[in-house]
Amino acid sequence: MSSDLNSIFDQFHRFIQLSQPLTTTQQPESGFRKFIQESTRLIIGPDRTSLRVVDEKITTMCRWLVSHDLLRIARFSYVEDAYTELMAWALHPGTHPESGIRRQRAWLRSLPFGRELHFESPATPRTQFPTNDGIPDLILEYETFVIVVEAKTGAEEHAAPSGLLQTKAYPISVRHALRLPDETSVYMVYVTPDRRRASNPESISTSFVDFSLALASELDAISLPQELRWAYAMLFTHFLTCAVPPGTDTLAILHEANVWKDHLGDDAFLGSRLNRITEAIQLFAPGETR
């Protein structure tokens, strides 16, 4: 039995000892042990499926990790404006013209509505876009739709001048600023370390890790100049290890994931690592397989 499950059993055993004067039931440990084993099997079942998805994503990201995160060293961690500029650079067609449309399609298709969107030319990202009701972090304007991005790290949404919270105000103010016709759709995307919900229920919540995964998967199939590949690797490494929920040790997750995939049939082994497995699923593949 795993160490975590043994700990649960030991706690239960102490509870039984303390409650002995109040009960006539003898030796309930074996029944409880069986209960723990069966419930572990039920818990691990969905996680085992999720881990296969996580393993594919981790394998992709490991190809892009670099040893030295200069952005972290320069103290750019959790700097919202800097992260927005980095996202704009990563999506900008001018960064690598041959892959411009592929990079933008890859990210948009990672979002729930993305596969419904069609465009023939990449957009030019615009950051800190001024409107009469606040300044969205980033917009991507296409012929038939517009993407509005609000990025947050530690802060919560604040009110725009109108009094509406940002993700409610910006789709309206961007529509007015661009003088968009009614038939042009405006999509609000809320990017945070933990995919927290936006105040606007129609907003799409995503993460910096999701952004990195979408682009890394696409760039794997593209021949990039070596110096550009290193630049993307630096960005992905930083987003993967620093633009994550506080307390998340991504490198430890990646290290342990190399062991999990060899023990997917071992309930006790996986049960002993439930906390880390849950972290991995939440970081890389929440809701995809459950």
The ranges assigned to domains in the chain are 32-69+242-290, 77-223
For the beta carbon of residue 105, count every other beta carbon within 10 angstroms: 18
- Helix residue ranges per DSSP H, the chain: 3-19, 29-62, 70-73, 80-91, 100-109, 166-178, 208-219, 226-241, 250-260, 267-271, 274-284
Q: Residue 191 class from Cβ within 10 Å (0-12 exposed, 13-18 middle, 19+ buried)? A: buried
pLDDT of residue 177: 98
Q: What is the pLDDT of residue 249?
A: 92
In total, the chain counts a number of residues equal to 290
Pairing of strands 185-192, 145-151: parallel
Rounded Cα distance, 8 and 163, in Å: 50
**Alpha carbons 203 and 157: distance in angstroms, whole number:** 13
Consecutive sets of 10 residues in the chain, 290 residues long: mean pLDDT of each? 53 60 54 49 54 84 93 92 97 98 97 90 98 98 97 94 98 98 96 96 97 97 96 97 94 82 67 77 70
Return the pLDDT at 138: 98
Nearest to residue 103, comparing CAs of 83, 84, 124, 85?
A: 124
The pLDDT value recorded for residue 38 is 47
The reported pLDDT for the residue numbered 260 is 74
Amino acid at 121: S
Strand partners, 140: 147
